């Protein structure tokens, strides 16, 4: 039989991991969505974007629609509503010129952050390089 402290520790670890994954995901959703839209050959609607996310991600990034609305409000993506033959109208998204500029800066920041974190996790300081 497992010790009560061992069970409690597992619960605490699970809570921390869940919180960490949520924080990490929420910070990266905009970057990932902008990247998917930049790589798309045509405008994409929400379900198509979700499908692409699922192909590249075993975890979940949370609800994308609030993020898409926010990106649209900040003029980083264009949104066009089109009639659908198989249901309600669909919102199709494309990245804007401003969105491409923001994506480039976010990508630069992400790569620098990733490098910094990897160096720390690997026990190297930036001065060692």
Higher pLDDT, 99 or 17: 99
Q: Report pTM.
A: 0.78
Report residue 40's pLDDT band, with 50, 70 and 90 as the boundaries: very high
Q: How high is the pLDDT of residue 128? A: 59
Can you list the domains of the chain with their CATH numbers? 4-128 (1.10.10.10)
DSSP codes joined into one string, the chain: ---HHHHHHHHHHHHHHHHHHHHHHHHHHHHHHHHHHHH-SS-EEHHHHHHHHHHH-SS----SHHHHHHHHHTTSEEEEEE--TTSS-EEEEEE-HHHHHHHHHHHHHHHHHHHHHHHHHTT--GGG-
Q: What mean pLDDT do residues 15-43 have?
A: 89
44-90 per-position pLDDT tens digit: 999 899 988 888 765 555 688 999 999 999 999 999 999 988 889 99
Q: Give me the half-sphere count of Cα atoms (radius 13 Å) on the Cβ side of residue 57.
A: 17
């Amino acid at each position: 039989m497992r010790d009560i402290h061992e069970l409690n520790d597992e619960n605490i670890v699970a809570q921390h991991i869940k919180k960490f994954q949520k924080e990490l995901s929420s910070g990266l959703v905009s970057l990932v969505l902008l990247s998917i839209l930049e790589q798309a050959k045509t405008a994409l609607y929400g379900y198509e974007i979700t499908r692409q996310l699922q192909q590249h991600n075993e975890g979940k990034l949370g609800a994308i629609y609030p993020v898409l609305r926010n990106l649209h409000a900040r003029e980083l993506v264009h949104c066009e509503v089109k009639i659908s033959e198989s249901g309600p109208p669909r919102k199709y998204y494309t990245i804007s010129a401003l969105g491409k500029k923001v994506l480039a800066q976010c990508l630069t920041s992400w790569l620098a952050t990733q490098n910094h974190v990897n160096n720390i996790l690997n026990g190297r300081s930036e001065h060692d390089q």
